[in-house]
Structure 1
Amino acid sequence: MRLNKYLAQAGIGSRRACDRFIQEGRVTVNDEIRIQPAYQVEPADVVAFDGSPVQSGTRLIYLQLYKPRGTLTTVRDPQGRETVMKYVADIKERIFPIGRLDCDSEGLLLFTNDGRITNILTHPRYEVLKTYRVYASGSLNCQEMRVLTDGLLKNGRWYQAHSVKLIEHQKGFTIAEVVLNEGKKHEVRILFEGIGHPVLRLIRTKMGPITLDENLLPGEWRYLLKDEIELLFERGGVGNDVGR
Structure 2
Amino acid sequence: MKPPSRPSRKPAVKPASVRPPRRAEKPAPDKPRAERPVAAKGAAPKKPAPQKPAFRKAPPRAARASGAAEPRPEGGREEHRIAKLLARAGIASRREIERMIAEGRIAVNGEVLTTPATLLTSLAGVTVDGAPVGETEQTRLFLFHKPSGCLTAERDFSGRKTIYDFLPKDLPRLMPVGRLDMTTEGLLMLTNDGGLKRTLELPSTGIERTYRARAFGSVSQAQLESLIEGVEIDGMRYGRIDANLERSTGHNKWIELTLTEGKNREVRRVLEHLGLSVSRLIRTRYGPFDLADSAPGALVEIRKGDLDRFLAALKKLKK
TM-score interval, smaller chain: 0.7 to 0.9
Deviations 1:175-231 (A, max 9, x none): 1210111011000000000010121111001111111132x1111111123344134
> Residue in 1 aligned with 2:299?
221
- Unaligned 5+ residue runs, structure 1? 5-15, 47-53, 239-244
The question of 1:34 aligning with 2:118 is answered yes
Q: Give the whole-Å Cα distance in 2 for the aligned partners of 1:209 and 1:117.
A: 15
Aligned residues: 218
> Residue in 1 aligned with 2:70?
none
Which one is further off, 69-78 or 154-163? 154-163
Deviations 1:127-151 (A, max 9, x none): 2111111111124312321343333
Shift of 1:164: 1.1
Q: Give the whole-Å Cα distance in 2 for the aligned partners of 1:167 and 1:190.
A: 19
The question of 1:120 aligning with 2:206 is answered no
Shift of 1:57: 4.1
The question of 1:159 aligning with 2:238 is answered yes
Q: Give the whole-Å Cα distance in 2 for the aligned partners of 1:151 and 1:131.
A: 16
> Residue in 2 aligned with 1:196?
275
The secondary structure found in structure 1 opposite 2:270 is helix
Report the TM-score when normalising by structure 2.
Answer: 0.60
Question: Among the aligned pairs, what percent are the same residue?
Answer: 28
Q: Give the whole-Å Cα distance in 2 for the aligned partners of 1:220 and 1:27.
A: 30
Q: Give the whole-Å Cα distance in 2 for the aligned partners of 1:18 and 1:180.
A: 38
Give the aligned CA root-mean-square deviation in angstroms: 3.1
Deviations 1:90-134 (A, max 9, x none): 333111211111111000011110234213311233121111111
Letter in 2 for 1:72: L
The question of 1:134 aligning with 2:194 is answered no
**Contact (CA 8 Å) 1:63, 1:222: kept in 2 or not?**
yes
**Contact (CA 8 Å) 2:175, 2:192: kept in 1 or not?**
yes
- Unaligned 5+ residue runs, structure 2? 1-51, 56-74, 87-93, 99-115
Deviations 1:7-54 (A, max 9, x none): xxxxxxxxx99725x1799557842122242675423269xxxxxxx9
> Residue in 2 aligned with 1:181?
260
Q: Give the whole-Å Cα distance in 1 for the aligned partners of 2:150 and 2:54.
A: 35
Question: Quick one: which of 137, 151, 173 aligns to 1:72?
Answer: 151
Q: Give the whole-Å Cα distance in 2 for the aligned partners of 1:161 and 1:70.
A: 29
Higher strand share: 1
Q: 1:90–1:27: structure 2 CA closer, same or farther, 3 Å change rule?
A: closer
**Contact (CA 8 Å) 1:3, 1:40: kept in 2 or not?**
no
> Residue in 2 aligned with 1:233?
311
Q: Give the whole-Å Cα distance in 2 for the aligned partners of 1:25 and 1:42.
A: 11
Shift of 1:3: 9.1
Q: 1:186–1:209: structure 2 CA closer, same or farther, 3 Å change rule?
A: same
Q: 1:202–1:44: structure 2 CA closer, same or farther, 3 Å change rule?
A: same
Letter in 1 for 2:128: A
> Residue in 2 aligned with 1:43?
127
